Structures are given as C-alpha cells and as structure tokens.
Amino acid sequence: MATPERVAIAAAGVVTPIGADLEAFWSALVTGVSGISQIERFPVADLKVQRGGEVKKLGRIKDWCGVSDCRATRLLIAAADDLCAQTGFRPLPLDPARVAVVVGTALGGVEEGERALAGDHPRRRFREALYDGPGDRLARWLGARGPVITVSTACASGATALGAAADLLRRDEADAVVAGGYDALCRFVLRGFNALRSLTPDEVRPFDRRRSGLLLGEAGALALLVRERDLRGPRLGTVLGYGSASDGFHIAAPEPEGRGLERAIRAALADARVSPRDVDFVSAHGTATLLNDRIETAALKRALGPRAHEVPVNSIKGGLGHTMGAAAALEAFMCLLSAQRGLIPPTLHLEEPDPECDLDYVPGRARAARPRIMLSTSMGFGGCNGALVLEAA
Amino acid sequence: MRAPAIRGLGVLSGQGPGSGPAPIWTLPRPERPGDRFRRATRECLLALAAVDAMLEDGRAPREAIAGERTALLYVTAAAYGASNREFIERRGGVVHFAYTAPAVVPAEVAIEFGVTGAYGILIGGAPSTLRAIEQAARLLDEDRCDRALLLAVEIFEECGDLYARHRRYTRWPLVETAACLWLERGQGELRFQSSRGGKPAGPARRGGERFAAGPLADLREWLDRGATGPLELSGRWRDEHARLGWSTVRSHARGSAA
C-alpha cells in the first residue's frame, strides 16, 4: 500500500478563555490558569449554573468594520487573525482558489437565530443562523476561494475538521487549508446544558473522584495545514491519522463501554499506520462528567492495551471549560506544543483520583516530556466519536 | 476515483402546491411505533423513514446495513432549524435540547439500524451532498467500510415565516425531502469538481428547492426514468458550484436499467 501524503500543521491561531492568542493559551495551560468566570455577555440570572469559559477579549482586532457582529464569526476571525499574524497568510500568498476552509462546530450561528426570533434584525440574523454561515464568513475574510466546508459532529467537530482538511490536501483539492473549530457561549446552549444537569457548580475536575460535571466554554481554534512536501519554513507537527465511529446507542448519552470511542481510536491508529506501542501521550476528551471519564478510561485501556498505563494522559477542560466545536482543535494544538516545548500541561483540579480512572492523568503541575506520537480523543452528542493521531515536528 | 454502485435509494418528497409567500411542499410526520420515538423530532422520523424506503428499494432486510462496516454520512443545510426554533421559543427542556444538534438525526438512524462504522456530518447545500458521495466512494475505495449510507434531510415548515422574508427562498417552492442512498463498491470513474465565484446562488431548480437533498432527488428521478450511461449531478449553494460525474452507474435500485 502506498504511503499516504504527509500533511503538516504549519501554524495555529486561537482565541480562548485563558489566552487571546496561541502563546498566551500555552502559557496559561502550563501554569494552570483557569478561564472560568461569571458569564457577562448575556443574561444568566435565571440559570442555575452561571459560569463558564467566556472569552473576555476577542484577540487583537480593534476595528471589526465589515465583519458581522455574530459572536461565532468573530471568534473564528479572531483565531484566524492570530494565525495570520504568525504566518503572513493575509493577504493570501497563493492562488485563492487553492485555499480551502474547513471548520467544525456544534452550534454554528445559533445565537443569531435566538436574536432573530427575539426581533433583533430578523432578516439578516436568520441568514446568519445557518450553521455554515461563520465558515463562509471566515473564507471571505481570508479571501479564500477554494472549498469551504462546515462539519458538525457535535463535540468531536474540531477533530473531524482537521481530518477532513488533511483529506482535502491528500486529494489535491487545495494547496493550503485553514481548519479547526469554534463555538460561542450563548443562552441557547447554556440553557440546554442547565436543563441536562450536566453543569457543575464546583470546579471542573476531570478524572477526580469528586467530579460533578462540566462547564461550557467558547473559543476559536484554527490551523494552517499544507502538504509537507510543499512546506517552506517551520511546522508545529503532522496530522498522521483520523478515525471516527458512531455509538449507535443513545442520542445524548455515551455508550457505557466506550466501544465507539475504541473503534475511532483503532481507526485513527490504522490511518496513521502506527501501533498502540508508538503512542507517547494522550489528550483525553476528559469532560469531568461521571460517565465520560470512566468510559473514556476503559476505551483507552482496550484500544492501547498495556501502553495506556505507560503514557501520560491529560485533559485541559478544567481551565477552559468544554469549548465544544473548538475543543478537539485546541487539544490537538496543545499536543503539538507539548512536543515542541517539552512540557505536558497538567489536568487542572485533579486532586483526588477516581479509582476507576487509573491512568496517569498528569495531576498537579506540568510535566517535562517530549512526546513524538500523540493521540487526541473526542466524544459528542449523538454518539459521535473521533480520534486524531499527531506527530511532533 | 472508482465510482460506487447504487444498492438502494429512498426519497420522500413533499407534496405541493403549498401557499403563502414562500410556498412549502411539506412531508407529514411519519408514525413509528415505540416509546423511544414519542418525542423524536419530525426530521429524525423522516430520516428513519427514508432509510426504510431505501431498504425497500434495495430489497434488503434491515440487518443488511447493521454493524461497524457501514459508514454513515449526513448532510443538511437547515433541517436543525425547526428543533432550534422549538427549543428557543417554547423554552424546551432536557429531551428537546438534545434534538437541536444536527448530529442527532444520523444518531437516530445509527441507533435504530445498528450502524456503528465511520461517520461524517456536513452542513451545507447540494455541493456538500455531492462532496459526501465522493467521500463515501473514498471510504469504500480505501476499504474503511463495506457500504456507505448517505442521508440528506431538509424540512422547512416550522421556519416558513422566516424563509418568507428572503426573496431568494420565495421564487420556487421549498420542497421538504428526506433521502438515503446506499452505496457499495462499483466500477467506472467518479469525478467531483467544485468551484466558487459569482453571485451567491438562489434556488435555481425546476420543481422547487431542496437544499442538500436536491442531488438525491435528481438521482431518484434519473433512476426512475430507467436512464443508462454517464450521469452528472450538479448543485449550487452560497457561491459554490459543484458537479459529480459517474462514468457508468451500476445500480440494483428499483427502476434501474443496469
């Protein structure tokens, strides 16, 4: 079988609750900063849980002239602005028709729908409420004229987007792809998760025996992907493989054995042509719900075998909250930065390990390590499971 | 890329004439026994009915599509709008919130028919559907699955007043459609082309606009005509134009000449 085309992540840009660019994000991860705060951007007084990972400062952009006031769109463009500041990718340095955009989202522009139905510019906002609206707006902002794709595999969307972007490059449909994920905190999703009783009044404590649920966050996370043979200059790392599998079990609850996640991991490892023994580090989905962390632990043990006990596994949702469509992309960037900087960020607020979650979850402080092959896992509503395999630069 | 063979295609299509500034040809909410479906949304039930229709078309039992060697791809531009609106306006609770996620439509199919293989969910119009067919062909070609189901659902009625505010949605009827295409390994060549440019596309279809479900309705029509030879499907959405060419279509679906 022919060796698949290698796809590099040349650079990444983010806007997050713990940092308005990639460097600030990384610094906050390794020093254990929490971005959880009282939500200020929209009314929450009637909601039981009123905290989340809200982005207080939308990156460097001062003048949003010409950009819609849709929060989701602005998160994406703030992340793109960080990416472009590092790469000089705006104005585009190559044929715009060969530049693609692939974004993942759980919510799209749903807040625009809320505002439209409340009578706030209903005609304009309804158009922006379509889930592929922010991705389209990002492509226009970049000047990209290649394929523009929006995927929505719930909280696995960021992983799906990076996998789909790598595929576009392998198929020569584009020479560069700006890809990642985003989602905005809004009343719609906060009301929903409050109703589901998935939100914790406590800290988010992945893999801790006292864990009592998640908190939501918002973010934009984008990478520039190119074929390695076309790359001139530095890179963060390589997308080696992507795998997906559906649970076929329940619309909102994960399959209790984690069989779907196990299949997704196996598929990603096969796509990457690596074995479980090659994996040096795992970025877990780690939402800190009672079920998720236990199920994920079991799935990792089955998919990686004895290796699961030998490698560090972390979750960064303790400080960020669950950033939904952006989560998997942020976690992928964290993996690559870990390899580049030789440090694995800790699992924030993990203090009393759950005996049923008995892997090495990097509690306390950042750990010196330089992983080469990394696995990032994601699980979402509707039984969507995704896994990415990444290689250090 | 190697073209996939068509094993079955179910298409449920709304009936006209509809009324109002944005005439909508609606599909009724299908009945489905079982407590699990009591609160299921119309788009989920239509997706299940489309899979039933596909199985009937392919003369296959439901077990034929179960398991981890079946991939499931879902495409929609707007079917989630109805559930989102319901949740926003009626301040829906736990169960309803879960149904606002686009991922729940293929999830209901996966649960009901035991489909546990690779999956993908694309948000967009007809070009996304053509891209998903190509993605399915690739999954088959690379032996990541033995069969691929491509599901497309679009419903409009619940947001009819909002569509009526936009001229681009009022020139042709909006035709509610639920469709599922069953693909297996085939022969011949599949070519996908996409380009962007020009003015954003408005509905430009005789017989109405179906967003992502349009290409599958076109394919059903082509099969029903008993057509043979090369097939080209096309579609537009926003400023993207896409075409998908099948050099030869091998089909076991009802109405097929091959």
pLDDT in tens, B164-208: 888 777 778 999 999 999 999 999 999 999 999 866 555 455 578
Contact B119 A251 (CB under 8 A): no
Contact A195 B93 (CB under 8 A): yes
Q: Which residue of B has its CA nearest to A154?
A: B103
Statement: residue A94 has pLDDT above 90: yes
Q: Which residues of B touch A152 (CB under 8 A)?
A: 101-103, 121-123
Residues of A marked as catalytic: 155, 285, 322
CA B191 → CA A4, A22, B17, distances in Å? 20, 39, 36
Predicted pLDDT at B255: 63
Dump pLDDT digits (tens) for A126-182. Answer: 888 999 999 999 999 999 999 999 999 999 999 999 999 999 999 999 999 999 999
**Comparing B258 with A29, which gets the higher pLDDT?**
A29
Contact A263 B116 (CB under 8 A): yes
Residue type, A104: G
Q: Which two tokens stand for residue A71?
A: 């929060």
CB-CB neighbours of B135 under 10 Å: 23
Q: Which of A46, A98, A153 to mutate to test the interface with B (most CBs of B within 10 A)?
A: A153
Q: Quick check: B153 and B50 in contact, CB under 8 A?
A: yes
Mean confidence (pLDDT) of chain B: 91
Predicted pLDDT at B197: 82
Supply the pTM of this predicted model: 0.97
The CB-side HSE value for A12 (13 A sphere, CA atoms) comes to: 30
Predicted pLDDT at B148: 98
Q: Which residue of A has its CA nearest to B89?
A: A117
Q: Looking at the DSSP assignment, which residues form a beta bridge with residue B174?
A: B24, B209
Q: What's the mean pLDDT in A55-59?
A: 90
Q: Quick check: A334 and A345 in contact, CB under 8 A?
A: yes
Statement: residue B39 has pLDDT above 90: no
* B107 touching A (Cβ < 8 Å): yes
CA A229 → CA A5, A172, A179, A353, distances in Å? 9, 13, 19, 44
Q: Quick check: A177 and A321 in contact, CB under 8 A?
A: no
* A117 touching B (Cβ < 8 Å): yes
Q: Looking at the DSSP assignment, which residues form a beta bridge with residue B234?
A: B243
- Nearest chain A Cα distance for residue B106, angstroms: 8
Residue A140 contacts by C-beta under 8 Å, 6 or more apart in sequence? Answer: none
Q: Quick check: A255 and A174 in contact, CB under 8 A?
A: no
What is the DSSP secondary-structure string of A254-308? PPTT-HHHHHHHHHHHHHHT--GGG--EEE------HHHHHHHHHHHHHHHGGGG
Query: Among candidates A96, A158, A101, which has minimal Cα distance to A134?
Result: A101
Dump pLDDT digits (tens) for A312-358. Answer: 999 999 999 999 999 999 999 999 999 999 999 999 999 999 999 99
- The single-letter DSSP state of residue A232 is -
Residue in the structure block whose two tokens are 């729940």? B104
Residues of chain B numbered 184-203 and touching chain A (CB < 8 Å): 194-197
Predicted pLDDT at B205: 57
Chains A, B: CB pairs < 8 Å: 160
Query: Among candidates A152, A151, A147, which has minimal Cα distance to A169?
Result: A147
How distant is the alpha carbon of residue A159 from its chain centre? 7
